[in-house]
Amino acid sequence: MKIAKVQTHILHHDLAQPFQSSFSTFRARRHLLVEIETESGLIGWGECLGPADINAAVVTAMTPMLIGRSAHDIEPIWLDLYNQFRDQGQRGVIHTALSGIDIALWDLAGKYFDAPIHQLMGGAWRRVIPAYATGGFRPEGGDHAAACAAEMAQYVGEGFEAVKIKIGYGIESDLKTIAATRQAIGPNTELMIDANHGYDAVDAIEVGRRASQYDIHWFEEPVVPEALRAYQQVRQGQPIPLAGGETWHGRWAIDEALQQNTVQILQPDVCGVGGLSEARKIITLADIHQVRLVPHVWGTAVALAAGLQFHAILPPNPPSHEQRSPRLEFDRTYNPFRQDIVEAPIEHKNGQVAVPQGPGLGISINRDALLAYRAA
């Protein structure tokens, strides 16, 4: 099953209502899909986390090394590409580009062997994943506390048992938003806060200390991801468990972060860490370091499907009768690519999401929608 063709698809949609994280304003949704076709006409899909145009350029640069190779050689291809780009590619877009290629190869393998990826990777622990709703971005020019509280109450009404909101817009503003959100969702919903590394250690410690009265399940990305010692300070200086890892690419970066006791909850992204092949290796690292693994998911239906395949194979840790299932991050902000580009959209039912059981990723791409959203 030789690889015949590799294509990149940049999807673009301008947002009617821009929204902000601590450091960025989202005026559009823009994501990169990778399509790999074999000589026999089988097609696999992957997705890269991060800037679509740069990822597309890197995938295109890697393409000559893929053409003519067996699509079944997933690990050899991964390592050959990594070896070729290692000197400038130990972190960042080399890994995110590799991720899209790797996921597409796993999708192809699943279609060839007529099995879902989780089956090929050793089998699933679960078929349904409890999700948490991600949202609560600051509307551009809007009242964050009021908007966030109302938005989260809506998700709880839909059946979500856990929600995550964005902070990092200033200590007093954030505490107002957290208080309003806790009030709106009641005492029984898990509440997570994500600063998107909008604080330094001093401010993050103050936020964590003052926010802890609102029963916060985790505090995500309090400080910039490369500042591992700042993570240590925040972890020691306030009581909320720390989460992070969506931008720690590859097993070496994650091992370094875990060795330095940065987080209790590790959040690798399948579309950024190096694909499903690398994500599987992170399971072992998380086990050895005894951190909880709750993957990060952000992107189109392809990223969502790849995330679900990965969630399915996460072993219960520790094993017990009252098993804690890793929650799926289910972004609820407007993104037409989450539903429109697949024939059967992946949706939640009462806050639970079923793992696709079809071959490969378990999704069928709607090519008309893909073309409609393709960036000019």
Residues forming the site for Ca ion (CB under 5 A): 194
Query: Could you give the CA distance from residue 188 to residue 356 in angstroms, rounded to a whole number?
Result: 29
Nearer to Ca ion, 9 or 197 (CB): 197
Residues assigned a catalytic role: 296
Decide: 77 and 69 in contact? Cβ < 8 Å. Answer: yes
Q: Scanning the structure block, which residue is given the tokens 């290692």? A: 86
Instruction: Supply the minimum distance, in Å, between the C-beta of residue 220 and Ca ion.
Output: 5
- Tell me the closest approach of the beta carbon of residue 194 to Ca ion, in angstroms: 5
The SS3 assignment for 345 reads coil
Query: Which residue is nearest to Ca ion, using beta carbons?
Result: 194
The burial of 269, by beta-carbon neighbours within 10 Å (0-12 exposed, 13-18 middle, 19 or more buried), is given as: buried
Q: Which of residues 38 and 247 has its CB atom nearest to Ca ion in the complex? A: 247
In whole angstroms, the minimum distance from the beta carbon of 116 to Ca ion comes to 27
> Which residues are CB-contacts of 140 (< 8 A; sequence separation ≥ 6)?
17, 18, 19, 20, 25
CB of 365 to Ca ion, least distance (A): 26
**Residue carrying the six token digits 């990305």:** 221
Which residues in the chain belong to E strands, given as ranges? 3-20, 25-38, 43-48, 128-134, 138-139, 162-166, 190-194, 216-220, 242-244, 265-266, 292-293, 328-331, 348-349, 352-354
Q: Which helix (H) or strand (E) holds 169?
A: none
Between 174 and 194, CB nearer to Ca ion = 194
Helix axes 275-289, 250-259, angle to 10 degrees: 20
CB of 221 to Ca ion, least distance (A): 5
Inter-axis angle of helices 93-113 and 275-289, nearest 10: 110
Taking the least distance from each CB to Ca ion, the nearer of 108 and 297 is: 297
- Please identify, using beta-carbon distances, which residue of 194 and 340 lies nearer to Ca ion: 194
